[in-house]
Amino acid sequence: MTTANIPLQLTRKDFVSNQTVRWCPGCGDYSILAQIQKTLPDIGYAKEDIVFISGIGCSSRFPYYMDTYGIHSIHGRAPTLASGLAITNPNLSVWVVTGDGDGLSIGGNHFIHVMRRNVDLNVILFNNRIYGLTKGQYSPTSRTGRKTKSSPMGSIEQPINPISLALSSGATFVSRSLDAHTKHLGKTLAQAAAHKGTSFIEVYQNCVIFNPQEWGPLEDRRERDDHIIYLEHGKPLIFGKNRDKGIRLDGFKPEVVQLGDEYTEADLIIHDETSKQLAYTLSSIEYPDFPAFLGVLYQEEKPTYTDGLFAQIQTAQATKGMGDLNALYRSADLWTVEEQEVVASDVKGTVALGMDDAYMDDLDKPEAVTTAVQDQLTQDTLASLTPRVPIEVDASTSLVKAIRQLNAHNIGCLLVTDKNDILQGIFTERDVLMRVAGLVDDLAAAKVGDYMTADPITVSADLPIAQALHLMSIHGFRHLPLVDEDNRPEGVVSFRDVVHHLTESLA
């Protein structure tokens, strides 16, 4: 039975599982996870019709963290399981999560074939140009000359270009995005989901532990626009923070030019996402030799594998009738496998302990230079914001009264507490717009308890400011209740307080 046409009102929260996320703090995987959880509510599928399938690697832990169906499968083989599933049940939204190791080393062959078949599924390849899970060896996308644990004198191999490979294998949707570019990533994921057929998204992902320098200025919001070309169908390839640079063709060779006297917009390549020839040409340019292009490079409508297969099944059944699986099984020689004697193993010993730590210490990581802002974010606690004393009401307070309180104190939120002062919910000006204004007729009869957000996410005074910012950026919260260990409110942290603190204290 399909549930796809039941109207859905899912939110990001519906896709967050209760599993402990085990990536290294700072890993780009976190932002990709958050964006996927944010995008899925809007792709038009019921939660139970969405499946994430992964192989092996850091990125492949993904299915645990999604509150959807998921398979953490065999190394490099996620595309095969995904293809089988998507063909058998075309009503599902199937996502493969893989990395440059899983998808292009051991899974290289499967990658090619999933790209060419055009089964309706989505492949997200987290590219950090290193092996993360096995601790820092070079991967198939590591640059030539790159020194890693397994290439101490520099890699002598030519890297794979995942976008070129996907294109030449016949993918019908080829795109790229960047982990920390939340808006762009969300948009690209939504476009991939909407495409019928195999969608490929390469996501440049920052492995902060083993390859933190790889994406350089791309990971710096202030500079990234000087290094990113945003592809838009029908638009010239202009880039730069001041939009003063572009890409033109010199013969067959893409070339970066400065716009001005010598070159104008008219000299630049116009992006055409339906042109495979252009896609091939553009796919050849890669960061850092060129600015990185982000967006949809190529897309094409083509019958899917499933369409073709089902058409053949129908024809076969029309001419030969329904098949009989049982008869097919029994049509060849049959034999019985006898039980075998158990052979005792003589392998003994314990796993060496402490090896990991020695290995980690041994890594020559670039020395981290932090800015004053970074130090503040991670070292100043929320207590240092001197959070405002919250205004508290109980759940039976009428909306009239609650709104009067918000207006009288000129504040954006009220905390709702029970008679023991335990936090029950939060009621904000956002809730007034979203759930009350023009929707509730009798404000005197309505109780705030029915319109608040119950059991809100809270913070405690000893957490770093970065934690509050994280919650605010991911969830869009403007206020966070600060509570003690018994969940009694101690204050409210607003994003205004945070911005103030960061801009004032260093004045």
Q: Looking at 1, 156, 183, 338, which residue binds another protein (CB under 8 A)?
A: 183
Nearer to ligand SF4, 206 or 458 (CB): 206
Q: How far is the CB of 135 from another protein (least distance, A)?
A: 5
Residues 206-225 that bind ligand SF4 (CB under 6 A): 207-210
Residue 495 C-beta: closest distance to another protein, Å? 5
Q: Which stretch binds ligand SF4 (CB under 6 A): 128-136, 152-160, 266-274, 289-297?
A: 128-136
Task: Give min distance, CB of 437 to another protein, in A.
Answer: 5
| Beta carbons of 237 and 299 less than 8 angstroms apart | no
Query: Which stretch in 4-12, 116-124, 203-211, 499-507 sits in contact with ligand SF4 by CB under 6 A?
Result: 203-211
Number of residues this chain uses to bind ligand SF4 (CB under 6 A): 12
- What lies within 8 Å, CB to CB, of 98 at 6+ separation is 54, 55, 57, 59, 60, 76, 78, 79, 107, 111, 123, 124, 125, 126
Does residue 443 bind another protein (CB under 8 A)? yes
Strands (E), 114-244: 122-127, 173-178, 199-204, 228-230, 238-239
Q: Give yes or no for a contact between 94 and 121, defined as CB atoms under 8 angstroms apart.
A: yes
- Going 158 to 159 to 164 to 170, the CA torsion angle's sign is positive
132 contributes a contact to ligand SF4 by CB under 6 A: yes
Residue given tokens 């302990």 in the structure block: 353
Give CA separation, 121 vs 61, 282, 461, in Å: 19, 24, 44
Interacting residue with ligand SF4 among 32, 36, 58, 94 (CB under 6 A): 58
Site for another protein in 60-119 (CB under 8 A): 61
Judge if the upstream peptide bond of residue 456 is cis by omega within 30 degrees of 0.
no
Q: Which does 128 bind (CB under 5 to 8 A by kind): another protein, ligand SF4, none?
A: ligand SF4
Token pair 């989505």 is found at 122
Judging by DSSP bridges, how do beta strands 489-494 and 479-483 pair with one another?
antiparallel
> Of residues 118-147, which lie at the interface with another protein (CB under 8 A)?
132-136
Query: Which of residues 196 and 470 has its CB atom nearest to another protein in the complex?
Result: 470
Long-range pairs, 357-360, Cβ under 8 A, ≥24: 359/135, 360/135
Distance CA 272, CA 173 (A): 13
Which residues within the stretch 369-388 sit at the binding site for ligand SF4 (CB under 6 A)?
A: none
Place of tokens 């029970």: 418
Interface residue with another protein, options 161, 168, 182, 284 (CB under 8 A): 182
Q: Min. distance of Cβ 21 from ligand SF4 in angstroms?
A: 10
| Site residues (CB under 8 A) for another protein, limited to 469-498 | 469-470, 472-474, 476, 478, 495-496, 498
Two structure tokens written together for 84: 């089988």
Choosing among ligand SF4, another protein, none, which partner's interface includes residue 499 (Cβ < 5 to 8 Å by kind)?
another protein
Whether 263 contacts 280, CB under 8 Å: no
Binding status of residue 24 toward ligand SF4 by CB under 6 A: yes
Length of the chain measured in residues: 507
Cα gap 63→55, rounded to integer Å = 10
Which residue's CB is nearer to ligand SF4, number 23 or number 65? Answer: 23
Taking contact as CB under 6 A, which single stretch among the options 24-32, 84-92, 105-113, 230-238 is the one that binds ligand SF4?
24-32
CA distances from 225 to 229, 242, 254, 423 (A): 8, 9, 19, 43
Among 2, 3, 22, 145, binds another protein (CB under 8 A): 22
- Site of interaction with ligand SF4 (CB under 6 A): 23-24, 27, 29, 58, 128, 132-133, 207-210
